Structure 1
Amino acid sequence: MILGIGSDLANIERIARVLDRHGDRFRNRVFTKTEQRKAERRMDVAGTYAKRWAAKEACSKALGTGLRMGIAWKDMAVSNLPTGQPVMAVTGWAADRLASMTPPGYDSVIHVTLTDDHPWAQAFVVIEARPLGVPGGTLAT
C-alpha cells in the first residue's frame, strides 16, 4: 500500500550559487557527511547536491509534512547501493513520522529515484507499506 508520494524539481544553478555564497554553512546544515563526501567526489558537485536537495524535499512531501513540523534536513539522507541505486534513510523526527504513518503489522519502504538534465535536478519518493516479513523493510536507523 502507498503511504505517501513526493516529488521535487531543483535548479542546479541555484544550488551552485548557494554553495558559492554559503559554502560549508549550507553543506553542514542540509547534508550529512556521507552525502557531502559523495558530492565532493563527483564532477558535477552542484548537480549531485541538487539531486539530494530535491530528494529531501520530495521525502518531506511524501511524509505529509513538507519541511516543517520539526523535520530537519539531515533527518533524511540519500546514499547509494553498490549498484548505484539511490536509497533514503530517515532518522529523528522523520523516522518518528514514518513510524506513525505505518499501520500495525507493516514495515515501510522508502523508494527514491533521482535524475538531472542541466539545469534541472528531479527526485521522486514513494513510501510503501509492506506486510511484516516481506523483504525490503525500512531503512530507518
Structure 2
Amino acid sequence: MIYGIGTDICDIRRIQASLARHGERFAEKILSEVELTTWQMRSQRWPERGVRYLATRFSAKEAFSKAIGLGMRMPMTWRSCEIGKLPSGQPTIVLHGELKIWFDAKGLSAHVTVTDETDYAASFCVVEYSDKNRL
C-alpha cells in the first residue's frame, strides 16, 4: 500500500547560482558525507557535471520529503537523506539518524528516480508500507 508520492523539478541554473553565491557551504548543507565526496570528485573533473549531480540530489530529497509528508522538518533533514545507487546504477534512498529510526518504525520503503536535462533536474519518489501487517 502506498504511503505517499512526491515529485520535484529543480532549475539547475538556480543551483548553480546558489553555488556561486555560497560556495561549497551550499553543497555541504544539502549533501551527506558520501554524496559530498562524489560531488567534489565530479566537480573537479567537470564542473557542469558536479552542478547536475547536486541538482539531482536536491530534487530527489525534495521529492522524498513530500512523499513522507514532512517537507523539510524534523526528522527530515538534507543530510539525513542520502541518494545512493545500487550496483545496477539504480538510485536508492539511504537514511541516517533520527530519520532512519522514524522511517523504519513506520515500516516504510522508498523508490526514487532522478533525471536531468539541459536546465532541469527532476525526481519522483514513491513511499510504501513494506510490512503488510502495518495496513
TM-score, normalised to structure 2's length? 0.84
More displaced stretch, 19-28 vs 115-124:
19-28
Q: Which digits, 9 at most, give the CA deviation of each residue in 1:12-61, with x for residues without a partner?
A: 11101111211221121211121122223333111110000001111111
Partner Cα distance (2:86, 2:75) in 1: 28
Secondary structure in 2 aligned to 1:50?
helix
Identity of aligned residues (%): 36
1:92 to 2:97 alignment: yes
- Pairs within 5 Å for 1:5-84: 5-42=5-42, 43=46, 44-84=49-89
Unpaired runs of 5+ in structure 2? none
Partner Cα distance (1:66, 1:98) in 2: 14
* Contact 1:60-1:67 within 8 A present in 2 as well: yes
> Relative to total residues, which structure has the larger helix share, 1 or 2?
2
* Contact 2:75-2:102 within 8 A present in 1 as well: no
**Alpha-carbon offset, residue 98 of structure 1:** 1.9
* Contact 1:63-1:97 within 8 A present in 2 as well: no
Secondary structure in 2 aligned to 1:122?
strand
Aligned position for 1:3 = 3
Count of aligned residue pairs for this structure pair:
127
